[in-house]
Amino acid sequence: MFQNKMPRYDILSQESMATLHAGWRRIVSEIGIEFASPWAVDMLREAGQEVSGETVKFDPDWVMKQVAKAPREFDLRARNPKNNVHIGGDSMVFGAVYGPPFVREGDVRRDGSFADYENFCRLSQSFDALDSVGGVVTEPNDLSLDSRHLDMAFAAATLTDKFFMGNVVTHENAKDVIRMAEIIHGGRAAIEETPALISLVNCNSPLRWDDRMLDSMREYALAGQPVVTTPFLLMGAMSPVTIPATLAQQMAEALVAIALVQLVRPGAPVVFGSFLSNIDMQSGSPQFGTPESGIGLLCTGQIARSLNLPFRGGGGLNSSQTVDAQSAYQTMMTMMPTFLSGTNWVMHTAGWLEGGLVSSYDKFVVDIEILQSLMAEFTPLEFNEASLAFDAHVEVGHGGHFLGAAHTMDRFRDCFYRPFLTNSDNYERWMRLGAKDTRARAEEIWKKKLEEYEKPEMDAQVLAELTEFVAKRKSELDA
């Protein structure tokens, strides 16, 4: 797990932060937030908030008191304890892309299948830099809609030994995946002590929480499993076209959900979620990897820290249709701020293409290279006599070279980040080897990774119990 010990790049003044806090307080108290689940409205009414139909107007001080009950950071257990992670503080935890219905394999774009889902699980297991396959790495469109959550969780649980995400399509799905986590980790008490599932709940922005998300959120909160309360904000559509307004809205939407979680189960782990970009004002289409999304991410980190909450944001977001230059510069445009803001839980780290509609095998590899490069870049320098290398200068003198210097020989294996995709062959050699661009080289890499993949072992009894549960539930659901 990566620890970001570099400074945070904070860009908001104290005054701006105060303005944002005044902004969300005004939204929740004067306009209020809609909640489509009656249980949520009832709980909030009982807690003294002002209810009118589905709309709840909040006392912002009460919201802050509720938010203060959430842990500042928490652990998340993986099947293999080596892959346990910590959410919050300096930790940065990375999951693959989440949600795409389509897959791109080379030049072919097609519906995602369960075979693709399994492949992305294998790739997520194969790259150490990635902490999780996430949840819906692609939609397995060839599986039953009612029971595919079981197949996905089973694949993530058995093809990787890393943690994975909970399903939020219905609260029944949530219950199923929680039960699977109990089987894997030795019972309810174990996952209540240290949670195993992290789940994404999106706000139907602006200012409305829908019932499916609320009901799933409640299941996970009851089980002590962390939820990532995420306003879904494409500026110009789901929020105003100004970043300050969008940040205030993001706080309003996320904080009331966190307050509600703390009613359901005080002390339940939560993550302040951000998914903030903008639309193209000509076409209305979503844009990713924009300057605005970069700024939003920097601000979000600073806001979350001011609230003592771990936060989610960033990833390899881009709007490109193919694994070209745009896909890469937009990905860097979000991934660098992801690191600059010290994002704790990073979804969509690998494989995101075409505005999140496509899981791309080639892009997955490009993204891992970018991720590892940034991990190297965000590692503080060591300053000491050895790193200052005065003796090397004495040895080499004027106009010489350091290739054979003792200082170099001692360090040449790991002095620099060693890329696995990036190529710097000279032109003649590059031509001789087939003039392969980054996408072509990435394709070779993921194919080799899949060939070399080794399935992590699972305790036979756990596997049997898990298999039985999944089979039983599938037969019930698909009946």
Residues 24-53 that bind a copy of itself (CB under 8 A): 26-27, 31-34
Minimum distance from CB of 175 to a copy of itself (Å)?
27
Taking CB atoms within 8 Å and a gap of at least 24, the contacts of 147-150 are 147/473, 147/474, 147/477, 147/478, 148/114, 149/173, 149/176, 149/177, 150/176, 150/180, 150/470, 150/473, 150/474, 150/477
Nearest to a copy of itself of 266, 412 (CB atom): 412
**Residues between 132 and 171 that touch a copy of itself (CB under 8 A):** none
Structural contact between residues 67 and 309, judged by C-beta atoms closer than 8 angstroms: yes
Distance CA 207, CA 227 (A): 18
14 is a contact residue toward a copy of itself (CB under 8 A) = no
Structural contact between residues 202 and 312, judged by C-beta atoms closer than 8 angstroms: no
Three-state DSSP state, 34: strand
Query: Which one among 42, 128, 377, 459 touches a copy of itself, defined by CB under 8 A?
Result: 377
Interface stretch with a copy of itself, choices 41-49, 114-122, 158-166, 389-397 (CB under 8 A)? 389-397
**Residues between 392 and 411 that touch a copy of itself (CB under 8 A):** 392-394, 396-403, 405, 407-408, 411
Q: Return the DSSP state at 95.
A: B
206 is a contact residue toward a copy of itself (CB under 8 A) = yes
Minimum distance from CB of 2 to a copy of itself (Å)?
13
Minimum distance from CB of 174 to a copy of itself (Å)?
23
Minimum distance from CB of 23 to a copy of itself (Å)?
5
Query: Which one among 71, 101, 106, 240 touches a copy of itself, defined by CB under 8 A?
Result: 240
Integer angstrom CA distances of residue 461 from 83, 149, 464? 21, 22, 5
4 is a contact residue toward a copy of itself (CB under 8 A) = no
**Residues between 186 and 205 that touch a copy of itself (CB under 8 A):** 204
290 is a contact residue toward a copy of itself (CB under 8 A) = yes
Query: Which one among 144, 422, 467, 475 touches a copy of itself, defined by CB under 8 A?
Result: 422
Q: In 162-317, at which residue ranges do the beta strands (DSSP E only) sit? A: 164-165, 197-203, 208-209, 227-235, 270-273, 275-279, 286-287, 311-312
Nearest to a copy of itself of 169, 243 (CB atom): 243
10 is a contact residue toward a copy of itself (CB under 8 A) = yes
Distance CA 250, CA 222 (A): 24
Minimum distance from CB of 120 to a copy of itself (Å)?
19
- Token pair, residue 115, equals 């075979």
Nearest to a copy of itself of 68, 386 (CB atom): 386
Give DSSP secondary structure letters for 409-453: HHHTTTSS---SS-----HHHHHHTT---HHHHHHHHHHHHHHH-
Minimum distance from CB of 432 to a copy of itself (Å)?
12
Minimum distance from CB of 368 to a copy of itself (Å)?
12
97 is a contact residue toward a copy of itself (CB under 8 A) = no
Pick from 336, 363, 333: nearest CA to 351: 363
Integer angstrom CA distances of residue 473 from 92, 435, 451? 35, 51, 32
Nearest to a copy of itself of 86, 109 (CB atom): 109
Burial of 79 (0-12, 13-18, 19+ CB in 10 A): buried
- Radius of gyration over every alpha carbon of the chain, rounded to an integer in angstroms: 23
Minimum distance from CB of 185 to a copy of itself (Å)?
36
Distance CA 174, CA 178 (A): 6
Query: Which one among 243, 450, 458, 477 touches a copy of itself, defined by CB under 8 A?
Result: 243
Minimum distance from CB of 459 to a copy of itself (Å)?
39
224 is a contact residue toward a copy of itself (CB under 8 A) = no
**Residues between 246 and 275 that touch a copy of itself (CB under 8 A):** 248-249
Three-state DSSP state, 85: strand
Distance CA 215, CA 227 (A): 12
349 is a contact residue toward a copy of itself (CB under 8 A) = no
310 is a contact residue toward a copy of itself (CB under 8 A) = no
Interface stretch with a copy of itself, choices 14-22, 116-124, 140-148, 305-313 (CB under 8 A)? 14-22
**Residues between 357 and 376 that touch a copy of itself (CB under 8 A):** 357, 366, 369-370, 373-374, 376
Distance CA 343, CA 302 (A): 10
Distance CA 58, CA 280 (A): 33
295 is a contact residue toward a copy of itself (CB under 8 A) = yes
Interface stretch with a copy of itself, choices 122-130, 139-147, 382-390, 443-451 (CB under 8 A)? 382-390
6 is a contact residue toward a copy of itself (CB under 8 A) = yes
Integer angstrom CA distances of residue 433 from 365, 366, 410, 423? 20, 20, 32, 12
Structural contact between residues 343 and 349, judged by C-beta atoms closer than 8 angstroms: no
- Count the residues of the shown chain that bind a copy of itself, applying the rule CB under 8 A: 120
390 is a contact residue toward a copy of itself (CB under 8 A) = yes
